[in-house]
Structure 1
Amino acid sequence: MSVSQSLFLLFLLILISAFFSLAEIALAASRPVKLRQMADEGITNALRVMQVQEKPGHYFTVVQIGMNALAILGGIVGEGLFSPLFTALFALQLEAEQAATLGFVASFILTTSLFIVITDLIPKQVAMAIPEQFAIRVIGPMRILATLLKPLVLLYSWIVSGVITLLKLPKQRDDSVTPEDIMAMTQAGAQSGTLAASEHQVIENIFELETRTLPSAMTHREGIVYFLRDDPDALIRSRIADEPYSAYPVCDGDIDHIVGYVTIKDLFQRVLNDQPISLDDPTLIRKPLVVPDRLTLAEVLKQFRQAGETFALIVNEYSLVVGLISLNDVMSIVMGDMVSPWYEEQIVRRDENSWLIDGVTPIQDVRRALDIDSVPHEDEYETLAGFLMTMLRRVPKRTDSVTWGGYTFEVMDVDSYRIDQVMVTRTIPQVGAEGAGPALKG
């Protein structure tokens, strides 16, 4: 075989081996979610790739047969092509035996380097960048090769399956997508710039609905605006003007005895028609949705949908009203900064290293605003006030403070045992601050 023929054969072997290497990494790196999207767009090869991913044994057997056979053939051709050339070159300076040895070594190194670079490193790096595009292109030829090499494929697959079963090794990969996987992908998208920070925040907030309970987003008992059933017309009109809301609870004597609710729409119709407003009118009062305070935000959304309501009264285990939540409250949690600064009123940044925070602010919002990864015993409370009570193990008083996660939380104002304002100051960061116990000051 002439030098030119040997070079052509070696080049051909390298190209075919590169194809197998590219086919291997393209299938392994292809994302099922992306393939499903391509299949929905009418790309039939994407479905074929997904089917092979479910049972990739035969596919990888073909790849390994091809790559190993080509590597052996390439070594033979490369040694026959380069060894005489290097031997003749070294013979100019060395003895014949030494020149032959060095010629073989140089030929081996050159041939191996060509295969490593051209058939392995380059195809795999390229395929890792856009695996789905390559996978749908190589699946056709690979299916043909699998048919041609079926006897060998079945033999090797039988041997491999037996060994895997004997060693109790996994046969299939788990392609299920967990919330953690989605969060990791969106985090990567936000860091790369393909996903806006606000969009990433919305996705994070949606998953947070499964863990956040109602007290973290509700209007607390003392903030509820309600009517008594015997309130006069003038008082009702005055309260509507002063504190306009979409709906108002109607109570009998006090807030713990709810008889229903009235909508602002119905009240305005009475006003516009110049009719008196009487909350004793049964046609005006609607039955409220009442939910327990242990529900998550995701669960209350489901109840809103089932009941066809947009707000709910929240009661504790003693059937006492503890708060009120509306659909807008939940959606403001989801949309975050895309709607309005959700912590604008409760968390006020004074300067670069200090914040003034309302005691009823949900602890998740505090963590997000301060960029704190975690707080101790988070499942035991909902608000910043609850955090301070848990850390101090008593009802805080003015000037009490807690240091945690590189911040000092100092109680600034207490009203009838209710923590109104907390001053948060960034302290000097310390290694392992979150793992250490909190510093308390009373």
Structure 2
Amino acid sequence: MPDPSSSLAPFPWLDVAVIIGLVCLNGVFAMSELAIVSSRKARLKALAAGGRKGAQSALLLSAEPGRFLSTVQIGITLVGIVAGAYSGASLGRPVGDRLLMLGVPPAWAHEAGFILVIALTTYASLIIGELVPKQFALRAPEGIACVVAGPMKMLARATAPLVWLLDRSSALIFHLLGMRRESENHVTAEELHLIVAEAQSAGVIDESERAMISSVMRLADRPVRGLMTPRTDVDWLDVDADEEEIRARLVETPHTRLPVAEGSVDAIVGVVQARDLVGVLLDRKPVVLRQLMRPAPIIPDRMDAMDALAVLQGAAVPMALVHDEYGHFEGMVTPADLLAAIAGEFASDAEAGTDPPAVEREDGSWLLSGSLSADGMADRLGIRLPFERDYETTAGFALAQLRHLPETGESFQYGSWKFEIVDMDGRKIDKLLAQCTTDRVEEPDEA
């Protein structure tokens, strides 16, 4: 009896190779699409400046996403159609003949062979033609974009009429929907904070660097009112002080510059530098403060820190007097205040015998100074404060929650933290105790 397998034609392995090639080509298109779309423009510009071949072409493609996506879609669609049709036509019957040999009924064998070929081709297209190439693109988008940009530009030129038609058609759909194709999304400050936090979690930067970067990013949003030395803490000289008083003040103060006022700190008329005073005293000349003092700029208390920095850079002395909208003196700001807002307080700047602004206790609670910045308090406790707020310090935060001048022992709840007023300095909140009341901190609604 003759062997039925002897009548079978050889299996078309060349057709299999062609189909695999088409699937791989589909993968190239998918990888190119995701690589160029997800590439960072700043990184591509740096590669282009360094002479990397293909980087400039990748930048041009990413600048026109509509045309580029149309080009890629043409390639993916054509390859998908050809791969599906070719696989079914070339492999359906040979696979059906072999299923017939395995005992599949003749009425079903060829249909089953066709379905099996299409299913395997689709599976290979999903894995080899989509998922794996896209994962490669996500691992190194800029490098892959530089490699594929040249071929993609040539394909765009070869299919220019069809690309134009698809691009215009998609633009028409967006117009009918009343939408713009160009993305209006920009990186927000919160996203930058998240990126920095992610870099710290990944070990790219350490915690101190993360805190400093976050402080720099917040600096432009902070008014000088939250950075200044308040008027109650300002060391100053009376313009009519005698030499003995001036000597005593120079010995007491740690500052290199002192405001000069007429009888009261509310009437500051200028700023004198300690080195100028020391020079006059060493030369045994009479000390006339009106001759030694220099003018200091006056800035509003709502001016942001970056604008205040520009004022300080152009001032005769790097010290600015902060006034409120009614013209009342509120405090003064110096470059040291701006540096402390970025890097934190320096121990040498703290007065002898004073406690640090925040101390974590053994039970996980925090003893906080009322003068600690609200942002500093939020960073330590891991809580989120409203972006729009009328206070800059922890004491101001407590007053905003209580809505009255508190007494020692009063407390309030904010999220999962209980805050207790533990010390009052007259009418000023001096110390607060923050205790977490749950294991998981839940942020309050900012609205």
Q: Same fold (TM over 0.5)?
A: yes
1:304 equivalenced with 2:312 (yes/no) = yes
After superposition, the Cα gap between the structure-2 partners of 1:310 and 1:346, relative to the gap in structure 1 and judged at 3 Å, is same
After superposition, the Cα gap between the structure-2 partners of 1:431 and 1:323, relative to the gap in structure 1 and judged at 3 Å, is closer
C-alpha offsets along residues 74-121 of structure 1, whole Å, 9 cap, x if unaligned? Answer: 123322444234323322222111222221221111111111111111
Higher mean displacement: 191-200 or 221-230: 191-200
Q: CA deviation at 1:188?
A: 2.5
Higher mean displacement: 70-79 or 344-353: 344-353
C-alpha offsets along residues 39-87 of structure 1, whole Å, 9 cap, x if unaligned? Answer: 3323363232222222223322221222111112212332244423432
Q: Name the structure 1 match of 2:288.
A: 278
Q: In the alignment, residue 324 of structure 2 is paired with which amino acid?
A: N
Rounded Cα–Cα distance in structure 1 between residues aligned with 2:446 and 2:147: 55
- Give the number of aligned pairs: 434
Other structure's SS at 1:249 match? strand
Q: 1:185 aligns with which of 192, 195, 210?
A: 195
Q: CA deviation at 1:338?
A: 10
The 5 Å alignment of 1:5-404 reads: 5-43=14-52, 45-91=54-100, 92-174=102-184, 176-280=186-290, 282=291, 284-307=292-315, 309-336=317-344, 345-374=356-385, 379-404=389-414
Other structure's SS at 1:409 match? strand
Rounded Cα–Cα distance in structure 2 between residues aligned with 1:259 and 1:161: 64
Rounded Cα–Cα distance in structure 1 between residues aligned with 2:372 and 2:168: 62
- Give the RMSD, CA atoms, in angstroms: 2.8
C-alpha offsets along residues 185-209 of structure 1, whole Å, 9 cap, x if unaligned? Answer: 3233222222333222222212212
C-alpha offsets along residues 360-410 of structure 1, whole Å, 9 cap, x if unaligned? Answer: 2222221112111126x9612222222222322221111111222222222
Other structure's SS at 2:261 match? strand
Other structure's SS at 1:379 match? coil
Q: CA deviation at 1:339?
A: 9.8
Q: CA deviation at 1:341?
A: 11
Equivalent residues of 2:296, 2:315 under 8 A apart:
no
After superposition, the Cα gap between the structure-2 partners of 1:155 and 1:396, relative to the gap in structure 1 and judged at 3 Å, is closer
Query: Which sections of structure 1, spanning at least 5 residues, go unmatched?
Result: 438-442
Equivalent residues of 2:320, 2:333 under 8 A apart:
yes
Higher mean displacement: 161-170 or 232-241: 161-170
Q: In the alignment, residue 366 of structure 1 is paired with which amino acid?
A: M
After superposition, the Cα gap between the structure-2 partners of 1:59 and 1:425, relative to the gap in structure 1 and judged at 3 Å, is closer
Rounded Cα–Cα distance in structure 2 between residues aligned with 1:339 and 1:67: 64
Rounded Cα–Cα distance in structure 2 between residues aligned with 1:402 and 1:98: 77
C-alpha offsets along residues 214-251 of structure 1, whole Å, 9 cap, x if unaligned? Answer: 23222121211111112121221222122221200111
Higher mean displacement: 47-56 or 218-227: 47-56
Equivalent residues of 2:415, 2:441 under 8 A apart:
no
After superposition, the Cα gap between the structure-2 partners of 1:366 and 1:183, relative to the gap in structure 1 and judged at 3 Å, is closer
TM-score (ref. length: structure 1): 0.89
Q: In the alignment, residue 329 of structure 1 is paired with which amino acid?
A: D
TM-score (ref. length: structure 2): 0.88
Q: Name the structure 1 match of 2:421.
A: 411
Q: Name the structure 2 match of 1:440.
A: none
1:420 equivalenced with 2:404 (yes/no) = no
Q: CA deviation at 1:138?
A: 0.9
- Percent of aligned positions that are identical: 27
Equivalent residues of 1:347, 1:357 under 8 A apart:
yes
Equivalent residues of 1:226, 1:250 under 8 A apart:
yes
Q: Following TM superposition, where does structure 1 have runs of at least 4 consecutive aligned residues deviating by more than 4 angstroms?
A: 337-344, 429-433
Rounded Cα–Cα distance in structure 2 between residues aligned with 1:46 and 1:308: 48
Q: Name the structure 1 match of 2:3.
A: none
